[in-house]
Amino acid sequence: MAISISNYPVYLQDGLKLDRDCLKSQERQNEGRKVFDRDSLKVSQLSKNRKILTDRIKHTVVQSAASLSNMRAGILKEIGEEKGQYGYSDVVNACGLSYAKLYSEIEKRYDNEQERYYNADDTLLTKEEEIEWLDMQYEQEVEWQKSCARIAAQGQAFQGNIPEMPTKEIEELEDAFYQARDAYMKLYNESKQAGRPLALQNFAFANSRMYEMLDRLGNLQERVK
């Protein structure tokens, strides 16, 4: 007599009875084991893929055009809450500190040479590219601050509140921003070697007359946010 087990013929000796229910139960168990093993493999692969995805997300850097201006705005908000108001000297210092802080974050990411970071489009990102992006942000911030000062000065000159456009002072303001960046980068390197946190200073860049002239242009808090 021949019966099939998992589609394979099995020949039984004459006179030997086989419990068909037992065979069917065994087949179901074997099939269930296959399904279990297949599902376990899928779960294992999904867990592995999830770990890879989580690691990639952790190492993906979204280069925001507003990261520097947002940090600067946060620093100025703290200054305003503490002092009641802030002037262009505070803006210059806040920008310099923001640059140094963002630079320090970039350096920390690349402390481990084995770590790899990626752009949002999954292309490899380098430390040099991040610093180049930060430099571009700072340049745009400086141009924006100059534009704000120029527009405010034009309005004040039109209303007769100031005798003439402070063209020289606005150009000096640009120099002050880049002096601030250099000064805070120097402070960052010194602080890193000494193990001190990087903090806001009251550095004086350019001359006091420039700040006095620019601070007369109106409510800075309404323009620099």
Residue 182 sits in the same domain as residue 90: yes
Residues 37 and 123 in one domain: no
For the stretch 74-128, pLDDT in tens is 999 999 999 888 999 999 999 999 999 999 999 998 887 777 777 777 788 889 9
Tokens of 155: 């309005």
Q: Answer whether residue 173 shows pLDDT above 80.
A: yes
Buried b (16+ CB within 10 A) or exposed e, 24-52: eeeeeeeeeeeeeeeeeeeeeeeeeeeee
Q: In terms of residue numbers, what domain contains 95? A: 67-223
Domain count, the chain: 2
Q: Does residue 110 share a domain with residue 30?
A: no
Q: Do 91 and 125 fall into the same domain? A: yes
Domain shared by 105 and 191, yes or no = yes
pLDDT above 50 (res 147): yes
Do 6 and 23 belong to one domain?
yes
Residue 162: helix, strand or coil by DSSP? coil
Secondary structure letter of residue 60 according to DSSP: B
d(CA 210, CA 176): 10
Q: What is the pLDDT of residues 53-76, one digit of tens each?
A: 444 444 455 556 589 999 999 999
Q: Domain check: are 159 and 54 in the same one?
A: no
Q: Where a domain ends, among 41, 58, 75?
A: 58
Domain co-membership, 54 together with 71: no
Q: What pTM does this model have?
A: 0.71
